[in-house]
Structure 1
Amino acid sequence: MYRRLFYVMLAFAGIVFVIQACNSRDNQGIEVQMPDTISYNFHVRPILSDKCFACHGPDANKREAGLRLDIAENAYKALKENPSAHALIPFKPGASEVFLRISTTDSALIMPPKSSNLKLSSHEISLIEKWIKQGAKYERHWAFNPPKTPKLPKVNTQDWAKNELDYFVLEKLEEQGLSPNPEADKERLLKRLSLDLTGLPPSMALMDKFLADGSNKAYEKVVLSLLNTPAYGEKMALHWMDVSRYADSHGYQDDNYRSQWPWRDWVIHAFNKNMPYDQFITWQLAGDLMPHATKEQLLATGFNRNHKITEEGGVIDEEYRVEYVTDRTNAFGKALLGVTLECAHCHDHKYDPFSQKEYYEVFAFFNNVKEVGLESSVGGPETYAKKPLMEISNADVKKLLSFVNKQDTNKLIVSVMGDRDTVRKTYILNRGVYDAHGKEVAAGTPQSILPFGNQYAKNRLGLSKWLFDKKNPLTARVFVNQVWQEFFGRGLVKTSGDFGMQGELPSHPALLDWLAVDFMSHGWNIKHLVQQIVSSATYRQSAVLSAEKLKTDPDNILLSRSSRHRIPAELVRDVVLASSGLLVKTIGGPSVKPYQPEGLWEAATSGRGILAKYIQDHGNNLYRRGMYTFIKRTVPPPTMSIFDASNRDQCEVQRLNTNTPLQALVMLNDPTVLEASRVLAASLLQEKTDVPAKLVKAFRLIVCRNPNEKEIKVLQAYYADQQKVFQQKSQADKVLAVGEFPIPVQLNKRNLAAMMQVMTTIYNLEETITKT
């Protein structure tokens, strides 16, 4: 009787709460409008995932009170500890324990408990209440439903749209009472496009040609031109280097050299020839298993050998072999499926419907490689790759692998995939411990994504076919989202590596699905996808930010303007080298070692191996693109690290984008920036033009637009001021003594030092390394 009375009182408290919560507020106390129809996926599940699933979700080991809220039938049934009560009773929030417990003021009964430091806002409680009133209907997680082509939305200003993408964007803007920005001016638009498609600033010739072209096809022509330049493949490959965790050393303590760069050459080649995405991935996952596999297909499998490999004596062989398989499994989940499979390595996933058993079923696909945990590092070039491996001969380069930039006759080997003749058994590893074998499992995939049917072989080739099954809900969505992120700085799903329960909801779900289906229906054509994005009116908007848009949409989630953000670390270097005329545009080849502060490697290495000391390169190797800079995992390139480049320890699908004083210090002091300033200054001073004309050209080369009158006057005054500063030759000599590129002997060093300072100033403008 007392228990019944308690529930009556609790229900009454809930009724009182409902009356008080008609005007619901979020955690900041801001009044929020209640949707007419409550969606489990878009309104309720994010709340349960954040506040409830840790104790009442997929992980059976952490589940409290036997209550599971992520599955409808479990949430509807009688409670284990009180059979007369139910967590959820559709249409009846006052009888549903979930609502009663989240809305009570009794600290002993409230959920989440006080000890969790979690709390639902009044708006979140009201959402759950209204959802129960509307029937507490569950939906399969949005990302696990195969995408379907949505109808184009009806919009008021159809004239604005350039292609289908724009209708979805405009629909959201009109719902919020916003209008898109006008198209950016031609100079800024060309800079944006050139950086996005090639990673390089537009040349003066291209700028002049584009500005002079008044036809309505001018933009379309420049898009096609840039898509067909060799630099396009380099730019597209840059993101894939992070995804693949490419590096030039093995990692761990000794961190010795590895010769994996021919695989990087292949990636650039694949993007330039516009290899379809399904083929691009299949070759990397299972090129060695394809019928009559070619050397190119075998080389592509280097993707799955880019992980860290130990060379330390005394390690347990099997422990590290399992570590390598784990890395491949985790990278597969994050890069290609956009899910956090790694969270099920030690136990069932706490938030997503992935069991530990399913994790090791995926693990089994990568567990049969002919490799060991520790391989001897004693010897010559043959130790620069680990078995299984392939050798690339000069004859191969001439006939089969012409894209590999092999300039010498040295032996060249690359780590690739290759399975054993007999299948290695795979077990669930209790708590993820390498030798704690549990139940044996066979190769398979998570049921919640797409069951692994009998039509697929239980090997990596079968896994690839499963991945590109049109019913797979994730593959196309994940890749188009990563590509979108490369152009807008943010994916339609912000959490590019997590499309699961804890990931962010898509800002434009219909647009994401339209892109995914269109990508598949066009044969997984990457250039088609890229061309669609850059041709849209959404992409072509100006970056001007009004007070209204700053208030309504500060993070530009609605895409009412162009995104404004700093270019990637490698491109900072590329812009400096290209604008100064120093850039060596050679495609591919071994990584290079440009200027670097002394002592960094020596302070952070074991002192063994050929990478114990940093031996700087000279000549053309000092002026290669940023993506070719040598990456030693234990001591990554400092300048690129400061600009948020990945150290390639693990698969990364999204970089940080920070803004620190160290970045300004790099631009002011880095030898490459200073040398480029000197070289560009020397080039300008040798031209038979007046100072204003020289400054205009410099500004156009570096910032990629014509300066206004005020900017020229400021720069001209600064040049005159610096000429006075460098009255003494010794002062000029000191400033000019940077970099190895020779100084023309006929130049006045006072003027050269002064002009060099002006160039450095232009390089340090925020606009120089910002895409607007």
Structure 2
Amino acid sequence: MVGFLFFNTLFASFDIYLDGFVISTFFHEITFDNKPLTRIIVKSQTFLYAPFLFLLLFSCNEKKSQSNILDSNDQVSYNFHIRPILSDKCFACHGPDANKREAGLRLDMAESAYAALRENPGRHGIVPNDPDASEVYIRLTSEDPGEQMPPPESNLSLSNEEIEIIRKWISQGAEYEPHWAFVKPQKHPLPKVQNQSWPINDIDYFVLQRMEAEGLAPNPEADKNTLIKRISLDLTGLPPQPEWIAAFENDQSEDAYLKALDKLFAQEAFGEKLGALWMDISRYSDSYGYQDDNIRTQWPYRDWVIHAFNTNLPYDEFITWQLAGDLLPANNKEHILATAFNRNHKYTEEGGVIEEEYRVEYVLDKTNTFSKGIIGITMECAQCHDHKYDPISQKEYFELFAFFNNTPEKGYEGDVMQSKPAKTPILWIDKEDTSELLKFINQRDSSRLMVSVMEELDSLRPTYILDRGLYDAPTSQVFPSTPMSVLEFGTNYPKNRLGLAQWTVSKENPLTARVFVNLIWQEIFGQGIVKSTGDFGMQGDLPSHPELLDWLAVDFMGNGWDIKRLLKQILSSATYKQSSFVDRKALEKDPENIFLSRYPRLRLPAENVRDLVLASSGLLVTEIGGPSVKPYQPKGLWEASTSGRGELKTYVQDTGDKLYRRGLYTFIKLTSPPPMPIIFDGSNRDQCEVNRGRTNTPLQALVMLNDPMVLEAASNLALTISKKHEDPSEALREAFVRILSRNPKNEELKVLEHYLKEEKERFTSNMDQAYSLVQVGNYPPKKEEINPDVAAMMQVITMLYNLEETITKI
């Protein structure tokens, strides 16, 4: 059973189910059945009960062991059964890294595993069909500490089940397979399913086949209120407007859902929602990092990313432009601007540094960002030595490094007092550019913009393997190339970044499309088909639905790398449209919802928590693009992490419309990232990130209860609806729909009305408290606009913002 309590439901009520998955707020129940063993009503004193509730919930937690032993007739797969065991327990000493290999035995390749042992030529590591003659099996089952493998001092051991799987694999012939992720994906035929009436599109056949194999059944379709909120949050990051909800509910046509999708795809907010994902991958920030951490001007690149997603630039072009737009035969400033992707890493501005050391550091960052964010391989492991787990040598790492090593950028450009907002090489963007080719850039004034971009040197800078990855320890010279285990670079591509881009988006490349469709799947379902989103290597997770992943990748490439089409496929599926109702039996069989027999409940990304509050309150400024903004922030944070030099030594809060921009535009200082996004698990952007954690801490509740932005939003909405409606019940209904995207149930409305009445009585007898509460933020209401009704309504709205359902995609 999963123990889960979100403190920010302070004013809500809970149903506590001791015999199953817990917690249903009064406003949105998650239940297994309709028979709660215990009901605990928790209102404003929740903190008094919270320790007891946590103890209660976690005391019910039972872990059930699952045997890994295969049925006697099952064929053991090297990729899906054997390699994960060897990778975890054996490859550190018997894997790809020649420097760490013991006894000359390499178990990740058939020819070396089958070969005679160096120290005992009469024995072989693995003898196909004969486990008793295989030294690997003999050592695994030995009770002699001197012979036993893994050795006792390694603190590694194999379970009896794992040893039995290895024995069975050897008995079946010990057949090796190439790593699944390095094999070109194939579009598998749709699997057969029993429930023929459930699938809506091809995706559903793959998902349902796994469900049925696990003895699971899909949830029914979610109601229309839930679906319109879900697709709006997924495609725009914003709650649906009340009139959209009403129109969708009233539209009884067969294509009502598809029309709603098309409407959301057409919103400019679509590019902002997907842009947030790419800002994490491209490690976008508004400062340089390191000690002085001064201002930089990379935001026109962010405007380009939003524009690219909104215009549905094909993903192969999207990647090509970012890797090598400056090298395209007919390049223009837009192509060059896209290459800022490579330049978003940190830069030092500190005197006394060694220029070459930091220049190499920047090239390493570019290499690692490419490998993790675009082809999903943790190649940084090979910077200092051959990769311990994946067939990638240190030589191959620096061959990839060589593609990015031929730019005129410097490791240091001068002291901080002479710092520029962009580093060499620079793209200058004039006002005429933003009026013509680059009109998507939101430039309010006439000043020239400076963006750090890519540029090639006239002559080739030699690249060397660096001993232990040290900048001042060059050894053998290498030339641009890519890992053979992934896809041979060949002679058809130029040996520069454009050639790398062409190799990357080749339909022969087994990784690029898989990695991206997996990222999109993660955005929608909270977890990728491959859980380890940035690691498709041997230490990464196996795909939960390998045939579906391949099908999506091939289909994506075969349909012009069309991102909107891919998203529409997923959001049109029966898999996506399921209810998030949690069935007890399904939870016991599949606690992590790997097989997707329900829609997952997911807290919104950090930026979208802010967006929802501002949008529902009417404060959101929907302007697209432009420089980053500095909203409300606790005093002293920046000053505590600054050298005391440069433009960013003190925090200067913005005013006016800038206070109400979307979370995507919040200024990110690397040494002091904005607190609200970080508390809600936003990326600090100091390196490429392909996924975010989802924690659940009291700090999140404190933000939702006390952040000036939330309180100002509650105050603004309270004043708006109090003026609009004479009947308080109608005002409550509108607030509820704006915030939760559905109408309140009668019993919910009664609770709200009761709380409103209590608060009104309190403020009637204490108007000073009402003034103090409502007059929050930089632009508070006038004193004559404040009365007990408005103050009481603000309290109710604050409570609604603090519901778990409000900031959860269900």
Residue equivalent to 1:282: 320
The match for 1:12 is none
Q: Deviations over 1:704-745 (max 9, x none)?
A: 111111111111111111112222121112112311234155
**TM-aligned CA distance change 1:742 to 1:731, over 3 Å:** closer
* Matched-pair contact (CA < 8 Å) for 1:377–1:383: no
Conserved in 2, the CA contact under 8 Å of 1:682 and 1:744? no
Amino acid at match of 2:280: D
CA deviation vs aligned residue, 1:404-451 (integer Å, no higher than 9, x gap) = 000012231111001110010000000000010010000000000001
Aligned residues: 745
Q: Residue 164 of structure 1: CA displacement?
A: 0.3
Identify the residue that residue 247 of structure 1 maps to in structure 2. Answer: 285
Residue 181 (structure 1) aligns with = 219
Shift of 1:325: 0.1
Using the alignment, how far apart are the partners of 1:426 and 1:534 within structure 2?
Answer: 46
State the Cα deviation string for residues 20-79 of structure 1 (Å, max 9, x = none).
Answer: xxxxxxx97644441411000000000000000000000011111111000100000111
Displacement after TM superposition at 1:163 (Å)? 0.4
- Determine the structure 1 residue equivalent to 2:749: 712
1:539 aligns with 2:579: no
Letter in 1 for 2:655: H
- Match for residue 23 of structure 1? none
Q: Secondary structure at the match of 1:320?
A: helix
Q: Which residue, out of 709, 728, 732, partners 2:766?
A: 728
**Structure-1 separation of matches of 2:496 and 2:178:** 29
Provide the C-alpha distance between the structure 2 equivalents of 1:749 and 1:676, rounded to a whole number of angstroms.
17
Distance 2:153 2:758 in 1: 65
Is it true that 1:351 corresponds to 2:394 in the alignment? no
> Is 1:224 matched with 2:224?
no
Q: Which residue in the other structure is 2:716 paired with?
A: 679
1:137 paired to 2:175: yes
**CA 1:28–1:680: 2 relative to 1, 3 Å:** closer
CA distance in structure 2 between the partners assigned to 1:346 and 1:263 by the alignment = 32
1:497-529 CA distances to partner (integer Å, 9 max, x unpaired)? 000000000000000000000000001010110
Q: Is the deviation greater in 61-70 or in 744-753?
A: 744-753
Q: Distance in 2 between matches of 1:345 and 1:561?
A: 42
Amino acid at match of 1:720: K
- Per-residue deviation at 1:105? 2.2
Report the counterpart of residue 558 of structure 1 in structure 2. Answer: 595
Which TM-score applies when normalising by structure 1? 0.95
1:19 alignment partner in structure 2? none
Asked if 1:318 is matched to 2:361, the reply is: no
The DSSP-based 3-state class of the residue aligned with 1:679 is helix
CA positional deviation for 1:632 = 0.1
Instruction: Compute the displacement of 1:377 (Å).
Output: 4.8
Does the 8 A contact of 1:364 with 1:443 survive in 2? yes
Query: Could you say if the C-alpha distance between residues 28 and 767 of structure 1 is closer, same or farther in structure 2, counting changes exceeding 3 Å?
Result: closer
Corresponding residue of 2:276: 238
The answer as to 2:91 corresponding to 1:53 is yes
1:384 alignment partner, SS class: coil
Q: How far off its partner does 1:167 sit?
A: 0.2
Gaps of 5+ in 1: 1-26
Pairs within 5 Å for 1:355-434:
355-377=393-415, 383-434=420-471
Instruction: Work out the CA distance in 2 between the residues paired with 1:746 and 1:153.
Output: 68
- Give 3-state SS (helix, strand or coil) of 1:137's partner: coil
2:146 alignment counterpart:
108
Match of 2:648 among 572, 589, 611: 611
Q: Does 1:272 pair with 2:313? A: no
The alignment partner of 2:107 has SS state of: coil
CA contact (8 A) 2:416 2:646 kept: no
Cα distance in structure 2, aligned partners of 1:495 and 1:724? 54
Partner of 2:205: 167
Conserved in 1, the CA contact under 8 Å of 2:770 and 2:786? no
Q: Normalising by structure 2, report the TM-score.
A: 0.91
Q: Retained in 1: the 8 A contact 2:69–2:165?
A: no
How does 1:562-573 map onto structure 2 within 5 Å?
562-573=599-610
Name the amino acid aligned to 2:373.
A
Q: Deviations over 1:353-408 (max 9, x none)?
A: 0000000000000000111100125567x810001001111111111100000001
SS of 2:477's partner is strand
CA RMSD, Structure 1 to Structure 2 (Å): 1.1
Distance, in Å, in 2 between the alignment partners of 1:461 and 1:28 is 52
Aligned counterparts of 1:312 and 1:581: Cα–Cα separation in 2: 44
Matched, 1:626 2:666: no
Answer yes or no: is the 8 Å Cα contact 2:345–2:365 preserved in 1. Answer: yes
Aligned to 1:513: 550
Residue number among 472, 489, 496 corresponding to 2:526 in the alignment: 489
State whether structure 2 residue 475 is matched by structure 1 residue 438: yes
Q: CA deviation at 1:157?
A: 1.1
State how far apart, in whole Å, the 2-side matches of 1:339 and 1:89 are: 32
Does residue 196 (structure 1) correspond to residue 234 (structure 2)? The answer is yes
Report the secondary structure of 2:442's partner residue.
coil
2:416, 2:156 → 1: CA distance? 54
Cα distance in 2 between the residues matched to 1:192 and 1:139: 40
1:291 to 329, 334, 358: 329
Question: In the TM superposition, what whole-angstrom CA distance separates every residue of 1:448-498 from its partner, at most 9, and x where no partner exists?
Answer: 000110100000000011111111100100000001000000000000000
Distance across 1 between alignment mates of 2:733 and 2:667:
35
| Structure-2 separation of matches of 1:379 and 1:211 | 59
> Is the contact made by 1:257 and 1:384 (CA closer than 8 Å) also made in structure 2?
yes
TM-superposition CA deviations, 1:228-266 (whole Å, max 9, x none):
110001101110000000000000000000010000000
Cα distance, 1:30–1:262 mapped onto 2, change above 3 Å: closer
Q: Which residue of 2 aligns with 1:261?
A: 299
| CA deviation string 1:542-577 (max 9, x = no partner) | 000010011000100000010111010000000000
Match of 2:70 in 1: 34
Deviation at 1:271, TM superposition (A): 0.3
Q: Distance in 2 between matches of 1:679 and 1:750?
A: 15
Aligned residue for 2:35? none
Name the CA distance, whole Å, in 1 between partners of 2:700 and 2:801. 12
Please name the residue that 1:549 is paired with: 586
Please name the residue that 1:13 is paired with: none
Kept in 1, the 8 Å contact 2:69–2:164? The answer is no
Quick one: which amino acid aligns to residue 546 of structure 1?
D
Rounded Cα–Cα distance in structure 2 between residues aligned with 1:30 and 1:585: 50
Q: Contact 2:774–2:786 (CA<8 Å) still a contact in 1?
A: no
Measured in 2, the distance between the counterparts of 1:31 and 1:611 equals 56
Write the letter of the residue equivalent to 1:562: Y
User: Moved runs in structure 1, 4+ residues, more than 6 A?
Assistant: none
Corresponding residue for residue 99 of structure 1: 137
1:292 Cα deviation (Å)?
A: 2.5
Matched residues in 2 for 1:363 and 1:116: separation?
33
CA offset at residue 541 of structure 1? 0.3
Q: Choose the corresponding residue for 1:653, options 675, 682, 690.
A: 690
Identity %: 60
Equivalent of residue 536 in structure 2, options 499, 502, 517: 499
Describe how 1:143-162 pairs up with structure 2 within 5 A: 143-162=181-200
Match of 2:735 among 698, 702, 705: 698
Name the aligned partner's letter for residue 142 of structure 1: W
| d(CA) in 2 for partners of 1:411, 1:377 | 23
Q: Secondary structure at the match of 1:390?
A: strand
Alignment match, 1:480: 517
Structure with a larger share of its residues in helix: 1
Structure 1 residue 589 corresponds to structure 2 residue 626? yes
Q: Is the 8 A contact 2:325 2:331 kept in 1?
A: yes
Q: Within 1, Cα distance between the matches of 2:337 and 2:780?
A: 40
Alpha carbons 1:679, 1:741 under 8 Å: kept: no
- Provide the secondary structure at the position in 1 that maps to 2:475: strand
Stretch deviating more after TM superposition (403-412 or 254-263): 403-412
Q: Is it true that 1:121 corresponds to 2:163 in the alignment?
A: no
